[in-house]
Amino acid sequence: MISLIMLSLSTLLITGILYGYFEAQLKKQLQTEADYIGVAVLSEGIAYFDNIDIAERITLVAPDGTVLADTAADPSELENHIDRKEIQLALKNGSGTSVRYSDTFTQRTVYYAVKLENGNILRVSARQYTLVTILLKLVQPIAVIILFAVLASAILSARISKNIIDDEEREKRASMRSEFTSNVSHELKTPLTSISGFAEMLMQGDADRETVVDFSRSIYDESQRMISLVQDILRISELDEKMRFEREDVDLYELAEEITECLRPEADKMQVQLRLIGEHIHIDGVRKILYEIIYNLCDNAIKYNRPNGLAEVGIYEKENGILLTVRDTGIGIAKEEQERVFERFYRVDKSHSGVIGGTGLGLSIVKHGAIYHHASIHIESNKGEGTTITVCFTKA
Ligand code: ADP
Protein backbone atom coordinates (compact mmCIF):
# COMPACT_ATOMS: atom_id res chain seq x y z
CA MET A 1 0.00 0.00 0.00
CA ILE A 2 2.81 2.36 0.94
CA SER A 3 4.66 1.50 -2.29
CA LEU A 4 1.49 2.15 -4.27
CA ILE A 5 0.90 5.58 -2.73
CA MET A 6 4.56 6.59 -3.02
CA LEU A 7 4.80 5.44 -6.64
CA SER A 8 1.61 7.24 -7.64
CA LEU A 9 2.77 10.47 -5.94
CA SER A 10 6.24 10.16 -7.51
CA THR A 11 4.72 9.59 -10.96
CA LEU A 12 2.54 12.69 -10.60
CA LEU A 13 5.42 14.79 -9.33
CA ILE A 14 7.92 13.64 -11.97
CA THR A 15 5.40 14.10 -14.79
CA GLY A 16 4.63 17.60 -13.48
CA ILE A 17 8.33 18.51 -13.31
CA LEU A 18 9.04 17.06 -16.77
CA TYR A 19 6.02 18.91 -18.19
CA GLY A 20 7.34 22.23 -16.87
CA TYR A 21 10.76 21.43 -18.27
CA PHE A 22 9.40 20.58 -21.74
CA GLU A 23 7.24 23.71 -21.79
CA ALA A 24 10.32 25.86 -21.11
CA GLN A 25 12.15 23.98 -23.88
CA LEU A 26 9.28 24.54 -26.29
CA LYS A 27 9.22 28.26 -25.58
CA LYS A 28 12.95 28.48 -26.20
CA GLN A 29 12.57 26.54 -29.43
CA LEU A 30 9.75 28.83 -30.60
CA GLN A 31 11.88 31.86 -29.80
CA THR A 32 14.85 30.55 -31.85
CA GLU A 33 12.58 29.67 -34.76
CA ALA A 34 10.92 33.09 -34.62
CA ASP A 35 14.33 34.79 -34.77
CA TYR A 36 15.35 32.82 -37.88
CA ILE A 37 11.99 33.16 -39.62
CA GLY A 38 11.94 36.88 -38.77
CA VAL A 39 15.16 37.42 -40.75
CA ALA A 40 13.72 35.45 -43.70
CA VAL A 41 10.39 37.34 -43.64
CA LEU A 42 12.21 40.67 -43.56
CA SER A 43 14.20 39.78 -46.67
CA GLU A 44 11.53 37.85 -48.62
CA GLY A 45 8.37 39.57 -47.41
CA ILE A 46 4.97 37.79 -47.44
CA ALA A 47 6.19 35.58 -50.32
CA TYR A 48 8.12 33.61 -47.70
CA PHE A 49 4.81 32.14 -46.51
CA ASP A 50 4.05 30.59 -49.93
CA ASN A 51 6.64 27.84 -49.77
CA ILE A 52 7.17 27.34 -46.07
CA ASP A 53 6.70 23.81 -44.69
CA ILE A 54 7.19 23.46 -40.94
CA ALA A 55 5.13 21.93 -38.15
CA GLU A 56 4.63 25.12 -36.16
CA ARG A 57 2.01 27.66 -37.18
CA ILE A 58 3.42 31.01 -38.23
CA THR A 59 1.41 34.19 -38.42
CA LEU A 60 2.43 37.65 -39.58
CA VAL A 61 0.43 40.46 -38.00
CA ALA A 62 0.47 44.16 -38.88
CA PRO A 63 0.94 46.67 -36.00
CA ASP A 64 -2.85 47.35 -36.08
CA GLY A 65 -3.65 43.68 -35.53
CA THR A 66 -4.56 42.75 -39.12
CA VAL A 67 -3.35 39.29 -40.05
CA LEU A 68 -1.11 39.62 -43.10
CA ALA A 69 -0.15 35.97 -43.55
CA ASP A 70 -0.75 32.64 -41.81
CA THR A 71 0.51 29.12 -42.53
CA ALA A 72 -2.67 27.39 -41.30
CA ALA A 73 -5.55 29.61 -42.53
CA ASP A 74 -6.55 32.17 -45.07
CA PRO A 75 -5.54 35.55 -43.49
CA SER A 76 -8.63 37.31 -44.88
CA GLU A 77 -10.83 34.98 -42.80
CA LEU A 78 -8.96 35.59 -39.57
CA GLU A 79 -10.17 38.26 -37.19
CA ASN A 80 -8.06 41.11 -35.96
CA HIS A 81 -5.34 39.89 -33.52
CA ILE A 82 -4.68 43.16 -31.68
CA ASP A 83 -6.22 41.89 -28.43
CA ARG A 84 -4.07 38.73 -28.26
CA LYS A 85 -1.84 38.80 -25.23
CA GLU A 86 1.40 37.80 -27.01
CA ILE A 87 0.81 40.45 -29.72
CA GLN A 88 0.20 43.12 -27.09
CA LEU A 89 3.38 42.11 -25.27
CA ALA A 90 5.42 42.10 -28.52
CA LEU A 91 4.12 45.56 -29.44
CA LYS A 92 5.00 46.84 -26.03
CA ASN A 93 8.22 44.97 -25.16
CA GLY A 94 9.52 43.60 -28.47
CA SER A 95 8.54 40.00 -27.68
CA GLY A 96 5.98 38.07 -25.65
CA THR A 97 4.61 34.64 -24.92
CA SER A 98 1.24 33.30 -23.90
CA VAL A 99 -0.57 30.00 -23.51
CA ARG A 100 -4.17 29.26 -24.43
CA TYR A 101 -6.20 26.11 -23.84
CA SER A 102 -8.44 24.35 -26.34
CA ASP A 103 -12.18 24.22 -25.57
CA THR A 104 -11.87 20.60 -24.35
CA PHE A 105 -8.76 21.34 -22.28
CA THR A 106 -7.07 18.34 -23.89
CA GLN A 107 -4.57 20.56 -25.72
CA ARG A 108 -2.97 23.94 -25.27
CA THR A 109 -1.14 26.24 -27.62
CA VAL A 110 2.06 28.05 -26.71
CA TYR A 111 2.60 31.34 -28.60
CA TYR A 112 5.74 33.35 -29.05
CA ALA A 113 5.52 36.73 -30.81
CA VAL A 114 8.38 39.04 -31.82
CA LYS A 115 8.32 42.57 -33.26
CA LEU A 116 10.25 42.78 -36.57
CA GLU A 117 12.31 45.79 -37.62
CA ASN A 118 9.53 46.89 -40.01
CA GLY A 119 7.01 47.05 -37.17
CA ASN A 120 5.11 43.85 -38.08
CA ILE A 121 4.69 41.11 -35.52
CA LEU A 122 5.80 37.58 -36.29
CA ARG A 123 4.11 34.90 -34.20
CA VAL A 124 5.12 31.26 -33.96
CA SER A 125 2.92 28.75 -32.12
CA ALA A 126 2.97 25.07 -31.23
CA ARG A 127 0.39 22.74 -29.76
CA GLN A 128 0.98 20.68 -26.74
CA TYR A 129 -1.04 18.07 -24.80
CA THR A 130 -2.12 19.27 -21.37
CA LEU A 131 -0.74 17.53 -18.26
CA VAL A 132 -4.11 15.81 -17.64
CA THR A 133 -4.20 14.45 -21.21
CA ILE A 134 -0.65 13.16 -20.95
CA LEU A 135 -1.45 11.42 -17.65
CA LEU A 136 -4.63 9.93 -19.12
CA LYS A 137 -2.74 8.69 -22.17
CA LEU A 138 -0.09 7.16 -19.92
CA VAL A 139 -2.51 5.53 -17.46
CA GLN A 140 -2.11 2.04 -18.93
CA PRO A 141 1.71 1.86 -19.10
CA ILE A 142 2.01 3.67 -15.73
CA ALA A 143 -0.44 1.18 -14.16
CA VAL A 144 1.60 -1.74 -15.50
CA ILE A 145 4.85 -0.21 -14.19
CA ILE A 146 3.29 0.56 -10.78
CA LEU A 147 1.86 -2.96 -10.55
CA PHE A 148 5.22 -4.44 -11.41
CA ALA A 149 7.02 -2.17 -8.92
CA VAL A 150 4.52 -2.96 -6.16
CA LEU A 151 4.85 -6.70 -6.80
CA ALA A 152 8.65 -6.43 -6.83
CA SER A 153 8.65 -4.45 -3.57
CA ALA A 154 6.20 -6.90 -1.97
CA ILE A 155 8.53 -9.80 -2.83
CA LEU A 156 11.61 -7.87 -1.71
CA SER A 157 10.09 -6.68 1.55
CA ALA A 158 8.82 -10.21 2.30
CA ARG A 159 12.39 -11.45 1.86
CA ILE A 160 13.84 -8.68 4.01
CA SER A 161 11.27 -9.18 6.77
CA LYS A 162 11.91 -12.93 6.65
CA ASN A 163 15.60 -12.25 7.24
CA ILE A 164 14.75 -9.92 10.12
CA ILE A 165 12.43 -12.56 11.62
CA ASP A 166 15.14 -15.22 11.12
CA ASP A 167 17.66 -12.99 12.91
CA GLU A 168 15.22 -12.34 15.74
CA GLU A 169 14.49 -16.06 15.97
CA ARG A 170 18.23 -16.79 16.10
CA GLU A 171 18.73 -14.20 18.84
CA LYS A 172 15.77 -15.55 20.77
CA ARG A 173 17.13 -19.08 20.48
CA ALA A 174 20.58 -17.95 21.60
CA SER A 175 19.14 -16.17 24.62
CA MET A 176 16.90 -19.16 25.44
CA ARG A 177 19.91 -21.45 25.20
CA SER A 178 21.97 -19.29 27.53
CA GLU A 179 19.03 -19.07 29.97
CA PHE A 180 18.67 -22.86 29.77
CA THR A 181 22.39 -23.34 30.43
CA SER A 182 22.29 -21.05 33.44
CA ASN A 183 19.17 -22.83 34.79
CA VAL A 184 20.78 -26.23 34.26
CA SER A 185 23.92 -25.12 36.10
CA HIS A 186 21.84 -23.76 38.94
CA GLU A 187 19.70 -26.92 39.19
CA LEU A 188 22.78 -29.17 39.15
CA LYS A 189 24.60 -27.06 41.67
CA THR A 190 22.02 -27.59 44.43
CA PRO A 191 22.27 -31.42 44.70
CA LEU A 192 26.03 -31.27 44.08
CA THR A 193 26.50 -28.84 46.97
CA SER A 194 24.51 -31.19 49.27
CA ILE A 195 26.50 -34.22 48.10
CA SER A 196 29.74 -32.36 48.65
CA GLY A 197 28.59 -31.24 52.12
CA PHE A 198 27.57 -34.74 53.24
CA ALA A 199 30.77 -36.26 51.81
CA GLU A 200 32.87 -33.66 53.62
CA MET A 201 31.25 -34.53 56.95
CA LEU A 202 31.74 -38.27 56.30
CA MET A 203 35.36 -37.58 55.39
CA GLN A 204 36.07 -36.37 58.94
CA GLY A 205 35.55 -40.01 60.01
CA ASP A 206 33.99 -39.31 63.41
CA ALA A 207 30.35 -40.01 62.49
CA ASP A 208 28.58 -42.94 64.10
CA ARG A 209 27.11 -45.75 61.99
CA GLU A 210 23.60 -44.31 62.01
CA THR A 211 24.83 -40.91 60.76
CA VAL A 212 26.92 -42.60 58.06
CA VAL A 213 23.83 -44.47 56.81
CA ASP A 214 21.79 -41.28 57.00
CA PHE A 215 24.35 -39.21 55.08
CA SER A 216 24.88 -41.98 52.55
CA ARG A 217 21.13 -42.12 51.92
CA SER A 218 21.08 -38.36 51.40
CA ILE A 219 24.01 -38.63 48.99
CA TYR A 220 22.17 -41.44 47.17
CA ASP A 221 18.92 -39.42 46.96
CA GLU A 222 20.69 -36.33 45.72
CA SER A 223 22.59 -38.39 43.10
CA GLN A 224 19.32 -39.94 41.93
CA ARG A 225 17.88 -36.46 41.60
CA MET A 226 20.87 -35.43 39.54
CA ILE A 227 20.55 -38.52 37.34
CA SER A 228 16.89 -37.82 36.59
CA LEU A 229 17.71 -34.16 35.98
CA VAL A 230 20.46 -35.04 33.52
CA GLN A 231 18.17 -37.56 31.82
CA ASP A 232 15.45 -34.92 31.43
CA ILE A 233 17.99 -32.39 30.14
CA LEU A 234 19.21 -34.90 27.55
CA ARG A 235 15.63 -35.62 26.45
CA ILE A 236 14.75 -31.98 26.09
CA SER A 237 17.98 -31.28 24.23
CA GLU A 238 17.17 -34.06 21.77
CA LEU A 239 13.76 -32.51 21.14
CA ASP A 240 15.33 -29.06 20.93
CA GLU A 241 17.84 -30.12 18.32
CA LYS A 242 14.89 -31.34 16.25
CA MET A 243 16.57 -34.70 15.87
CA ARG A 244 15.02 -37.12 13.41
CA PHE A 245 13.38 -39.98 15.25
CA GLU A 246 12.16 -43.23 13.77
CA ARG A 247 8.37 -43.15 13.36
CA GLU A 248 6.34 -46.30 13.79
CA ASP A 249 2.82 -47.53 14.37
CA VAL A 250 2.14 -47.15 18.10
CA ASP A 251 -0.83 -48.53 20.03
CA LEU A 252 -1.38 -45.68 22.50
CA TYR A 253 -3.48 -47.84 24.85
CA GLU A 254 -0.82 -50.54 24.98
CA LEU A 255 1.87 -47.95 25.63
CA ALA A 256 -0.21 -46.34 28.41
CA GLU A 257 -0.75 -49.81 29.91
CA GLU A 258 3.00 -50.40 30.00
CA ILE A 259 3.54 -47.02 31.71
CA THR A 260 0.76 -47.41 34.29
CA GLU A 261 2.17 -50.82 35.24
CA CYS A 262 5.60 -49.27 35.64
CA LEU A 263 4.19 -46.47 37.82
CA ARG A 264 1.86 -48.65 39.89
CA PRO A 265 4.34 -49.12 42.78
CA GLU A 266 4.71 -45.34 43.03
CA ALA A 267 0.92 -44.89 42.90
CA ASP A 268 0.49 -47.50 45.62
CA LYS A 269 3.10 -45.75 47.72
CA MET A 270 1.19 -42.48 47.36
CA GLN A 271 -2.14 -44.29 47.93
CA VAL A 272 -3.39 -43.11 44.58
CA GLN A 273 -5.68 -45.25 42.46
CA LEU A 274 -4.16 -45.47 38.94
CA ARG A 275 -6.58 -46.37 36.14
CA LEU A 276 -6.48 -46.75 32.37
CA ILE A 277 -9.61 -46.44 30.23
CA GLY A 278 -10.38 -46.04 26.54
CA GLU A 279 -9.72 -47.91 23.32
CA HIS A 280 -6.79 -49.42 21.43
CA ILE A 281 -5.93 -46.61 19.04
CA HIS A 282 -2.93 -46.64 16.76
CA ILE A 283 -1.01 -43.57 15.71
CA ASP A 284 2.02 -43.02 13.54
CA GLY A 285 4.54 -41.53 15.94
CA VAL A 286 7.81 -41.79 17.81
CA ARG A 287 7.38 -44.42 20.52
CA LYS A 288 10.14 -42.99 22.71
CA ILE A 289 8.62 -39.48 22.73
CA LEU A 290 5.05 -40.75 23.21
CA TYR A 291 6.34 -42.76 26.16
CA GLU A 292 7.83 -39.58 27.69
CA ILE A 293 4.57 -37.67 27.20
CA ILE A 294 2.37 -40.28 28.89
CA TYR A 295 4.95 -41.08 31.57
CA ASN A 296 5.44 -37.46 32.65
CA LEU A 297 1.69 -36.74 32.69
CA CYS A 298 0.95 -39.88 34.75
CA ASP A 299 3.91 -39.25 37.02
CA ASN A 300 2.60 -35.74 37.77
CA ALA A 301 -0.97 -37.03 38.25
CA ILE A 302 0.38 -39.35 40.96
CA LYS A 303 2.95 -36.95 42.48
CA TYR A 304 0.60 -33.97 42.79
CA ASN A 305 -2.29 -36.05 44.14
CA ARG A 306 -3.62 -36.71 47.62
CA PRO A 307 -4.13 -39.97 49.56
CA ASN A 308 -7.09 -41.94 48.15
CA GLY A 309 -7.01 -39.77 45.06
CA LEU A 310 -7.47 -40.92 41.48
CA ALA A 311 -5.16 -40.73 38.47
CA GLU A 312 -6.82 -41.80 35.24
CA VAL A 313 -5.40 -42.14 31.75
CA GLY A 314 -7.84 -42.19 28.84
CA ILE A 315 -7.30 -42.93 25.15
CA TYR A 316 -10.17 -42.02 22.83
CA GLU A 317 -10.90 -41.30 19.23
CA LYS A 318 -13.08 -38.24 18.66
CA GLU A 319 -14.18 -36.42 15.54
CA ASN A 320 -11.53 -33.72 15.97
CA GLY A 321 -8.66 -36.15 16.62
CA ILE A 322 -7.16 -38.76 18.90
CA LEU A 323 -7.24 -37.74 22.54
CA LEU A 324 -4.90 -38.70 25.34
CA THR A 325 -6.23 -37.42 28.65
CA VAL A 326 -4.62 -37.68 32.05
CA ARG A 327 -6.99 -36.71 34.82
CA ASP A 328 -6.29 -36.48 38.51
CA THR A 329 -8.11 -35.47 41.67
CA GLY A 330 -5.00 -33.87 43.12
CA ILE A 331 -3.93 -30.44 44.32
CA GLY A 332 -4.74 -28.67 41.03
CA ILE A 333 -2.99 -25.71 39.43
CA ALA A 334 -4.12 -22.11 39.89
CA LYS A 335 -5.36 -20.39 36.70
CA GLU A 336 -2.44 -17.93 36.57
CA GLU A 337 0.10 -20.79 36.77
CA GLN A 338 -1.47 -22.97 34.06
CA GLU A 339 0.49 -21.45 31.15
CA ARG A 340 3.73 -21.28 33.08
CA VAL A 341 3.92 -24.92 34.21
CA PHE A 342 4.98 -25.83 30.64
CA GLU A 343 8.06 -23.59 30.93
CA ARG A 344 11.41 -25.18 31.60
CA PHE A 345 12.30 -25.52 35.28
CA TYR A 346 9.04 -23.89 36.34
CA ARG A 347 7.62 -25.37 39.51
CA VAL A 348 4.56 -24.03 41.28
CA ASP A 349 5.85 -24.76 44.74
CA LYS A 350 9.64 -24.97 44.62
CA SER A 351 10.14 -26.14 48.19
CA HIS A 352 7.41 -28.79 47.95
CA SER A 353 8.69 -29.96 44.53
CA GLY A 354 12.09 -30.53 46.08
CA VAL A 355 10.55 -33.04 48.47
CA ILE A 356 8.53 -34.64 45.68
CA GLY A 357 11.63 -34.80 43.51
CA GLY A 358 10.49 -32.96 40.39
CA THR A 359 12.94 -31.40 37.96
CA GLY A 360 10.55 -28.83 36.49
CA LEU A 361 11.22 -30.26 33.04
CA GLY A 362 8.46 -32.88 32.79
CA LEU A 363 5.72 -30.74 31.26
CA SER A 364 8.26 -29.00 29.06
CA ILE A 365 9.17 -32.40 27.62
CA VAL A 366 5.43 -33.10 27.18
CA LYS A 367 4.98 -29.79 25.35
CA HIS A 368 7.93 -30.36 23.00
CA GLY A 369 6.89 -33.96 22.40
CA ALA A 370 3.40 -32.80 21.47
CA ILE A 371 4.80 -30.15 19.12
CA TYR A 372 6.96 -32.84 17.51
CA HIS A 373 3.77 -34.80 16.81
CA HIS A 374 1.83 -31.69 15.69
CA ALA A 375 -0.49 -32.29 18.63
CA SER A 376 -2.11 -29.60 20.77
CA ILE A 377 -2.27 -29.50 24.57
CA HIS A 378 -5.19 -28.35 26.69
CA ILE A 379 -5.15 -27.95 30.43
CA GLU A 380 -8.14 -27.79 32.71
CA SER A 381 -7.49 -27.41 36.38
CA ASN A 382 -8.97 -26.04 39.57
CA LYS A 383 -6.91 -25.50 42.65
CA GLY A 384 -7.74 -28.13 45.25
CA GLU A 385 -9.95 -30.14 42.86
CA GLY A 386 -7.64 -31.69 40.31
CA THR A 387 -6.17 -31.39 36.84
CA THR A 388 -6.96 -32.79 33.41
CA ILE A 389 -4.36 -32.45 30.67
CA THR A 390 -5.41 -33.45 27.16
CA VAL A 391 -3.07 -34.03 24.25
CA CYS A 392 -4.95 -33.95 20.94
CA PHE A 393 -3.26 -35.70 17.99
CA THR A 394 -4.57 -35.02 14.50
CA LYS A 395 -5.85 -38.14 12.78
CA ALA A 396 -3.68 -37.67 9.68
P1 ADP B 1 8.15 -31.38 37.86
O2 ADP B 1 9.31 -32.21 37.50
O3 ADP B 1 8.43 -30.37 38.93
O4 ADP B 1 6.92 -32.19 38.13
P5 ADP B 1 6.76 -30.49 35.54
O6 ADP B 1 7.25 -29.68 34.38
O7 ADP B 1 6.27 -31.85 35.24
O8 ADP B 1 7.91 -30.49 36.57
O9 ADP B 1 5.62 -29.67 36.23
C10 ADP B 1 5.82 -28.32 36.54
C11 ADP B 1 5.02 -27.92 37.76
O12 ADP B 1 3.63 -27.96 37.46
C13 ADP B 1 5.19 -28.87 38.89
O14 ADP B 1 6.27 -28.51 39.70
C15 ADP B 1 3.87 -28.73 39.63
O16 ADP B 1 3.94 -27.66 40.54
C17 ADP B 1 2.88 -28.41 38.56
N18 ADP B 1 2.09 -29.59 38.09
C19 ADP B 1 2.35 -30.39 37.08
N20 ADP B 1 1.41 -31.34 36.93
C21 ADP B 1 0.53 -31.16 37.93
C22 ADP B 1 -0.69 -31.80 38.33
N23 ADP B 1 -1.17 -32.86 37.70
N24 ADP B 1 -1.35 -31.29 39.39
C25 ADP B 1 -0.89 -30.24 40.06
N26 ADP B 1 0.25 -29.57 39.74
C27 ADP B 1 0.96 -30.02 38.68
* DSSP letter string, 128-184: EE-HHHHHHHHHHHHHHHHHHHHHHHHHHHHHHHHHHHHHHHHHHHHHHHHHHHHHH
pLDDT at 76 over 90: no
Could you tell me if residue 120 is inside a domain? yes
pLDDT reported for residue 2: 82
Instruction: Decide: 388 in ligand 1 pocket, CB within 6 A.
Output: no
| CA–CA distance, 84 with 391 (Å, rounded to integer) | 90
Instruction: Decide: 360 in ligand 1 pocket, CB within 6 A.
Output: yes
Parent domain of 333: 245-393
Residue 360's CATH number = 3.30.565.10
pLDDT reported for residue 239: 84
Of 137, 170, 204, which closes a domain?
137
In which band, very low, low, confident or very high, does the pLDDT at 88 lie, cut at 50, 70 and 90?
very high
pLDDT reported for residue 366: 96
Instruction: Decide: 330 in ligand 1 pocket, CB within 6 A.
Output: yes
Strands 273-278 and 321-328: unpaired
In which band, very low, low, confident or very high, does the pLDDT at 351 lie, cut at 50, 70 and 90?
low
Q: What is the pLDDT of residues 146-163, one digit of tens each?
A: 889 889 988 998 999 999
Ligand 1 center from residue 351 Cα (angstroms): 13
* Ligand 1 atom at minimal distance to the Cα of residue 296: 7
Count: domains in the chain: 2
Q: Which helix (DSSP H) or strand (DSSP E) does residue 126 occupy?
A: strand 121-129
Instruction: Enumerate residues 6+ apart whose C-beta is below 8 A from 134.
Output: 15, 19
Q: What's the Cα-to-Cα distance from 231 to each of 205, 226, 259, 374, 396, rounded to whole Å?
A: 33, 8, 17, 24, 31
Give the lowest-confidence range in 84-98, 110-124, 153-167, 236-250.
236-250
Could you tell me if residue 212 is inside a domain? no
Instruction: Decide: 325 in ligand 1 pocket, CB within 6 A.
Output: no
Could you tell me if residue 67 is inside a domain? yes
* Ligand 1 atom at minimal distance to the Cα of residue 363: 6
Residue 207 carries which side chain, given as an amino acid letter? A
Do 249 and 388 belong to one domain? yes
pLDDT reported for residue 5: 87
Q: Say whether pTM exceeds 0.85.
A: no
Instruction: Decide: 293 in ligand 1 pocket, CB within 6 A.
Output: no
Could you tell me if residue 233 is inside a domain? no
Percent of the chain with pLDDT over 70: 98
Instruction: Decide: 386 in ligand 1 pocket, CB within 6 A.
Output: no
Instruction: Decide: 347 in ligand 1 pocket, CB within 6 A.
Output: yes
pLDDT at 42 over 80: yes
Residue 51's CATH number = 3.30.450.20
Could you tell me if residue 61 is inside a domain? yes
The per-residue pLDDT of the chain, averaged, comes to: 90
pLDDT reported for residue 92: 93
Of 137, 172, 192, which closes a domain?
137
| CA–CA distance, 364 with 297 (Å, rounded to integer) | 11
pLDDT reported for residue 12: 87
pLDDT reported for residue 357: 64
pLDDT at 74 over 90: no
Instruction: Enumerate residues 6+ apart whose C-beta is below 8 A from 108.
Output: 99, 100, 101, 102, 127, 128, 129, 130
Ligand 1 center from residue 193 Cα (angstroms): 24
Could you tell me if residue 143 is inside a domain? no
Give the lowest-confidence range in 48-62, 205-219, 224-238, 260-274.
48-62
